[in-house]
Every structure is written in structure tokens, then in C-alpha cells.
Amino acid sequence: MNASAPIGEVYYVPKSSPFPAILSLALAALFIGLSLFLNGVAPAVWLAIAGLLGTLYAIIAWFQSVIGENRAKAYKTWEAGSFRLGMIWFIVSEIVLFGTFFACLGYERLVAVPWLVGLDPQFTPWQHYAGGWPTPGPDGKAFGVVSPWGIPLLNTVLLLSSGVTVTWAHWGLLAGKRGQLKLGLALTILLGAVFLFYQGKEFHHAWTELGLTLGSGVYGATFFLLTGLHGFHVTLGVLMLITMLARSSKGDFSARDHFAFTAVSWYWHFVDVVWLLLFVFVYWL
């Protein structure tokens, strides 16, 4: 590439955009409003709602702008590489996020609980704490545990199947088979939605019938933190897949130009892998 070439010939320079500022302010309003609402300031819920609406507007409008630039063939080779690198680093950040919480789970189970059990009885008020896992903690109430061989196993099958269908859709895109692309995406969306339905059913059963809540000691907090965070990611993934299906129905994407689809499929496979780890370390072992 000619180093002396004008910048516009090397990569696309977009016009100034208001969306980064709008998104930042909207997210600030959303989280400040939620924080105040959870601490008893009831009117703050309207601030949170305004922040949520502003966030949705900024995301949708921003992506529409990027899609429009791509359709206008404004992007060069440089942008394609930068988009891929950005998605890779995003997934790395997600690995760090979930890795941190899995590390907390391991520390609680392998270090903190045995340490409490091993304390000299004369120096602790928890003389009768037997430890073990799952544990409500020294002062917690007893609770039931979700069996891994019911809904968790079913959800594992659903997510693994969705990994197959999104890959099948990708093959259809590469082969120019639009029907296979759209059917694969639709099946993946359906499997993800069914997963979320059963996840919600499991949460309701655990909370109302098993007595397993966020207040059920360290295990309850860890259980809902990890599974809830994953469920949030699945929800986002389903929304992304719906967007991909809508764009595919409009004729977007080709065998040579489909990075948005590739990025969503990477994200979905990441969600699958995280669930497998959850099934093993949260439900099974």
C-alpha cells in the first residue's frame, strides 16, 4: 500500500457521530436510575427507563449507520480487519469476565469453605458449621439444589443443537443457499428462545420451591450470578440472531461479505462453551 496515499484511499473516515456520546449518557442514566431505585428512591425508575430507551435508540441508530456505510461500499480492506480484531478482543473481555466469576466459585468452594471449617472452635462462633458444597454458609438457611439431569441437561442439548444450526446456516450462506441460511437462523433463534423459557422456569422453581435465592449464602449468590449472567448473554445473542435473520431476509450478506453474521456466530459459540462450563462446575460437580 502506498504510504503517501491520502487517508481516504487507505481506509474510510466517517463523519462525526453523536451516538457515542448519546450511548454514554444513556448508560449512565440507566445505571444511576437503577442504583437509586434499588436503594428506595422510587421515582428514579423513570430515569432508568429513559436511560434504557436512550441506550436502545443509540445502539439501533449506530448500527444502522454502520450498515449503511457498508452497503455504500465505503469500507476498505483495513476496516474488515479492524472489525474482526475488535470482535476478537470483545470475546476475550467476555472470557475474562466469566473467568473471574468461575475463579470466585473455585475460591469459595476449595479455599474459603474449608478454611471456615478448619478454624479452631474457640475462636469462631460457627462451632457446628460442617462445610461441604453446596453450602448456605455458617448462618444460612437450608435449601434444595437444582438437579443437573433435568432442565440443565435439556438446556445443554438445546444450546449444543443451536451451535449446529447456526453453523449449518453459515454453510448455507457460503454456498449461496439463502433458504438454508434463513432456516438455520430461525432454528437457532427458536432453540435459544426455548432455552430461555426453561431457564426462567428453573429459576422460578429454585426460588419458590427449593428455597434457593440470592440470599441463600454464597452458593445461592454464585448460582444466580453465573447462570443469570449467562442467561443475559443468551438473550442478547437471540436478539442479534433475530437481527441477522431480518437482514438476511432483505438480501444482505454474501459469501464474500458477511462479517456481521460471522461475529454473531462467534458470540453464539462462545455462549455455548460457557454453558458447558456452567453445567459441569455449577450444576454437576
pLDDT digits 0-9 by tens, 111-128: 988 888 887 777 777 767
DSSP summary character for residue 140: P
Q: For all residues of the chain together, what is the average pLDDT? A: 90
Distance CA 153, CA 198 (A): 11
The residues, ordered by sequence, that sit 6+ positions from 181 with a Cβ below 8 Å of its Cβ are 169, 170, 172, 173, 248, 253
Give the residue from 115, 155, 122 showing the smallest Cα distance to 137: 115
8 has pLDDT over 70: no
State what percent of residues in the chain have pLDDT above 70: 96
**Stated pTM of the model:** 0.88
Position with higher pLDDT, 155 vs 66:
155
Instruction: State whether residue 14 is helix, strand or coil.
Output: coil
Task: Write down the pLDDT at residue 2.
Answer: 46
Report all structural domains of the chain as residue ranges with CATH numbers, in order of start. Answer: 15-74 (1.10.287.70), 77-284 (1.20.120.80)
Whether the Cβ atoms of residue 146 and residue 283 lie closer than 8 Å to each other: yes
Q: Does an H or E element contain 276, and which?
A: helix 259-278
- Provide mean pLDDT across the span 181-204: 97
Q: What is the DSSP letter of 121?
A: G
